[in-house]
Structure formats: C-alpha cells, structure tokens
Amino acid sequence: MKTKIMLSILLGVAITLCLTYSYSQAENLKIAIMQDQEGSAKKYAPLVSYFETRGIKVSFINTQSYSEAALMFAQAKADAMFSGSGIAGTMIMKRVAKPIVRPLSKEGTSTYWTVILAQKGSAKYTESADYFSGKKVSFCSLASSGEFYLHAIGGHKTASELIQANSHESAIDLLANGTTDIAIVKNRVWDRVKNKYPDIEVVGSDTGENPDGTLIVSKIVSPKLSEKVTSILLGLMEDSSPEAKMVKDQMNILGFIQITMDNFRYTLALLREAGVSRSFNFTY
C-alpha cells in the first residue's frame, strides 16, 4: 500500500513538473490592440486561451489611439498588432513589420474603403481637394480612411481646419455635433453605426479597397514563432472546438485568411501619395 501511495505521489509530482516545464517553455507574444472605445478590445480575449493551448502565451497591450499603438509597435514594445491598413502599411514601408493574416467577417468581407460624410442635403463629393475648401474636417489620425486619405487627395491644404479624432466613430460624432462640416471615415464603421446619425449621409466615397484588421508581426519576432502564429490562425476556420467557436463568435468572423503584399497595393500607393516614407514619424 505504501508503495502504491509513493508511486502516486511521484506520478503527481512528475505530471506537475511536466506541466510547469511545458508552460515555462511556451513562447510569448505581446499583441497591441487599439481600444478606441470602452471594452472594444474584449473581442480578442478568447484568443488568449486558444493560443495558450497551442503553446503560445499571448498578452494584450491596450492603446487608446492609432498613434499610441504605432509608436509602441515601432519601439518594439509589442511583438504584433491587429491593425488597420494605414498603420500596417506604414510599418511595412518602415520595414519593421510584415502582415501575416487578416480576419474574414461572417458577412464574407475582409476589406474596407473610405466614405465622405456630411449633413443631409450637402453637396456631393467631387473627389477633388477643392471640395474641402473652407470646410472643417474630422478624421481618425493615421487611418487610410481618414488622415492619410485627406493628405493623399490634398484636402489638408484647402480645408479651413483639420480635427483629429482617436477613432472613426469619434470623427462622426464631431460632424454630428456641428464641430466639423465633413467626416472622412471607414465604410465598415459607418455601416455599423449609421442608424445613430439620421441627419448624416454619405456624399462620396473612394473605390480603392484596403485590407481590414490585419495582424502584423514585428521583424524582431523569430520566423519560427511567426510561422506558428500564422498556422494556428489559418487553422481556426476549420476548427470546430468549443474554444475556436468562442473566438469566431466573439470576433464575429469565419476565421482568418492569408494576406500578401499584393493585398496592400492600393494602400501603399495611397500612403506614398500622402507623403509617407520609411522616415515617417507618425505625425504631420
């Protein structure tokens, strides 16, 4: 009996040591999340346990604006980031990151484009910098469908006032309360919140599409870890486990799909027109 008890104890200790060793050997990944509204980063929470059961210990770093997230990533305080195309494209141009996957929404979308908003009855957008002449314009800073678009079209030179917002919805709020005459935002955001703004309408749009919610990984992350993260996320779509379902439901996605530099072709051209280069310091 004593022998059995001793063997049980030794077995328990061995299992504990194995689990401890396995956990200590788990690779770490710090992911920056732009939390522009209360609780908006919660949708990513199920990824923590999903990655952990696959040998990667994930921690999230919440930031309050695109600018803060960009600087944190550029300073190597984060290993990866779920990002809009403006920040992702800028990091690619600065040669500090590479895109690995992007989410595919349950509606089957993985891209977005720019819409121009104004009060109902306003003149239609002419796709010219002159349209912004004498107007106050709100936009999300460092966003392809925001600050970068306005600079690419030259509207920053003709507008009477430029007002940066921490998020696309904040830019719409500035238009709604009369602070600005025009808001430049992401169409996916507008589609989600437009019922809250009955007096605002789309007066124009840009036809170029940008990859949405791309996960970019820092060049300092080992290729082995980067490939492992990519493989795990690409496998999510066909994974029917409870934890996979939780990730997909919380993020409202079917899964993740591959992304290539070709998917950034329009975005990178827009950024170059907006004056972004490798030396760009995240501010104009």
What would the pLDDT profile of 11-42 be if each residue is shown by its tens digit?
233 333 333 333 334 589 999 887 655 556 78
What would the pLDDT profile of 223-263 be if each residue is shown by its tens digit?
999 999 999 999 999 999 999 999 999 999 999 999 999 99
Identify the pLDDT of residue 16: 34
Identify the pLDDT of residue 39: 57
Identify the pLDDT of residue 217: 96
Written as six digits, the tokens of 47 are 């990824």
* Short-list 235, 216, 218, CA closest to 53: 235
Identify the pLDDT of residue 2: 44
| Of 211 and 25, more confident | 211
End-to-end CA distance of the chain: 77
What would the pLDDT profile of 118-169 be if each residue is shown by its tens digit?
999 999 999 999 999 999 999 999 999 999 999 999 999 999 999 999 899 9
User: pTM score, two decimals?
Assistant: 0.86
| Mean pLDDT in residue range 261-270 | 96
Task: Give the integer Cα–Cα distance in Å for 175 and 203.
Answer: 13
Domains identified in the chain and CATH numbers: 2-110+211-273 (3.40.190.10), 114-205 (3.40.190.10)
Pairing of strands 136-140, 161-165: parallel
* Short-list 108, 81, 54, CA closest to 254: 108
What would the pLDDT profile of 47-103 be if each residue is shown by its tens digit?
999 999 999 999 998 887 777 888 888 888 899 999 889 999 999 999 999 999 999
* 85-93 helix and 66-74 helix, angle to the nearest 10 degrees: 30
